[in-house]
Amino acid sequence: MNKKGFFSQLVLSLLLGLVVSINSFATSTDYQEPGVMVNLLFDEMNAQILFDKDKIEADKGHLLALGHRVLSPYVSFDKMAKQVLGKHWRKITKDQQQRFIEAFKARVSVAMATQYDPNKKYTLDVIGERRNKKGDRALVKSKVREIGGASNYAISYKFYLGKKTKVWRVYDVIVEGISILQSFKSASAEEIKKNGIEKLIEQLAVTPAEVEDAEDDVDDEVNGDAVEIDSAVVAVVKEDG
């Protein structure tokens, strides 16, 4: 598998955790506790998917736009980007930092569009939550099950509490024991060491052709690969990460 394909698989694994309930991520300030937030946002997903189903099926671009809008309030792409690059973050320019963040955001949106399957529905149960001593970090454990299917996922969400905003935001997702943040960090460090930051951004960046493909109806082969990420992605992460 090439690097762009590997990064796409990592993003799809991230999406499994975040985007199984993507259409539910609203901007309400009612969600003060991480565990409650995960449950309520997931419950709202079904109504939002049903409401937007015709629009999404008619125009995958609607899903791309929705992804940009709904992820931002509850997912800290900036923090994720800094942790993914680690010591390299301060060594690159402000322009490179911003382009890396935007490339990651764009790939998440495109991957979401190619993964979307209106016929699949899920249930989620929060099975545990714990905080650090300061109370500004939280780990929420959940089980996601496909209704009428065999798919079963153990997903944990890592949250941090903003010092100024006092809003909980996701900065990592652990799917079946695999930290997406750490997997991205390992893959990115290897790419930077071999080819530099510009090559990494290039590998992660979404091409115009990929955007067009995402806006079109996804063919059966691609859709199948995206859906069956419960085993395939974990294998890829273990092999390459």
Rounded-to-integer distance, Cα 100 and Cα 197, Å: 9
The pLDDT, as a whole number, for residue 238 is 29
More confident: 204 or 17? 204
Most confident of 9-13, 45-49, 75-79, 225-229: 75-79
Say if CB 35 and CB 212 are below 8 A apart: no
The pLDDT, as a whole number, for residue 240 is 38
Averaged confidence pLDDT in the chain: 72
The pLDDT, as a whole number, for residue 11 is 52
CA 172 to chain centre: 9
The pLDDT, as a whole number, for residue 229 is 29
CB atoms within 10 A of CB 230: 17
Q: Which amino acid is at 142?
A: S
What confidence tens digit (pLDDT) does each residue in 166-192 have? 888 888 888 888 888 888 888 889 889
What confidence tens digit (pLDDT) does each residue in 93-131 have? 999 999 999 888 777 667 666 666 667 777 888 899 999
The pLDDT, as a whole number, for residue 232 is 29
No. of helices (H) and no. of strands (E), the chain: 10, 5
More confident: 40 or 155? 155
The pLDDT, as a whole number, for residue 109 is 66
CB atoms within 10 A of CB 54: 11
Instruction: Report CA-CA distances (Å) from 122 to 5, 84, 143.
Output: 26, 29, 10
pLDDT band at 149 (very low <50, low <70, confident <90, very high): confident
Least confident of 56-60, 147-151, 195-199, 236-240: 236-240
Long-range contacts of 155-163 (CB under 8 A, 24+ apart): 155/16, 155/17, 155/20, 157/17, 157/34, 157/38, 159/34, 160/76, 160/79, 160/136, 161/135, 161/136, 161/137, 163/136
